[in-house]
Amino acid sequence: MNTKNRKVAVIDLGYSPYNEALTIQEKLFNQIISVKRKNRANGKHELTNNYLLWVEHAAVYTLGKSGKSEHLLLDQQRLEEKGIEFFTSNRGGDITFHGPGQIVGYPIFDLDNFFTDIHKYLRFLEQAVINTLSEYDIKASISKGETGVWLDAETPFARKICALGVRASRWVTMHGFALNVTTDLSYFDHIIPCGIKGKGVTSMAKELGKKIPMKEVQDKLKHHLALLFNARFKDATL
């Protein structure tokens, strides 16, 4: 009997406020956990689903559960003046920005379908981004002791191009990664990104000196995620 489902439904939410996308994430996340609980209680082997949500958020700062509020450098009045939302989040990590020109990927995977190793899961997300960037001749890597994807890591010129922050329960994941494609980087001036002082933030457009189509980058990310997770990704709708 096949007890693992390596299919991933890819759902593009388009341009969406953070709280709306979070509600969808939580619904799918809870549905998977509910199936796993029933399986355990009844001794059944109903297959669980896996999803990858694409979204481009309206401007928002989110603070992870290990973050510090002082890493947000604007008060509520200034946030409202600039039209930026702020949310605390149950993901890992500190503060980050999401907004137009940024590809946000939320994998909602049952890792029992792949491997039960959160460290490996994070490294695979990072590697998919690194492999995607390499197709544009952008040499990226991880940075020792820090999540995310960096350029010129371990040098005085280190700058982050992709942030990561996830949550997992019963080996089911949510939240994910945010890759700066054509992002307005001035938004990062109002936070201490990921709580890391003295390091910059960059985007694909800044590094290449030109804009890259978001859909093109999404497709490459999907390809590399499918290879790493040995999964079949198929476009779907809610």
Mean per-residue pLDDT of the chain: 93
Using 50, 70 and 90 to split pLDDT, how confident is the model at 238? confident
Share of the chain above pLDDT 70, in %: 97
On the question of pLDDT at 131 being above 60, the answer is: yes
Would residue 162 show up in a list of annotated catalytic residues for this protein?
A: no
Give me the half-sphere count of Cα atoms (radius 13 Å) on the Cβ side of residue 129: 30
Give the mean model confidence (pLDDT) for residues 67-91.
Answer: 88
Among the options 194, 204, 214, 231, which is catalytic?
A: 194
Split at pLDDT 50, 70, 90, the class of 130 is very high
pTM for this one?
0.94
CATH number at 7-236? 3.30.930.10
Write b or e for each residue in 139-155: b if 16 or more Cβ atoms lie within 10 A of its Cβ, otherwise e.
Answer: ebbbbeebbbbbbbbee
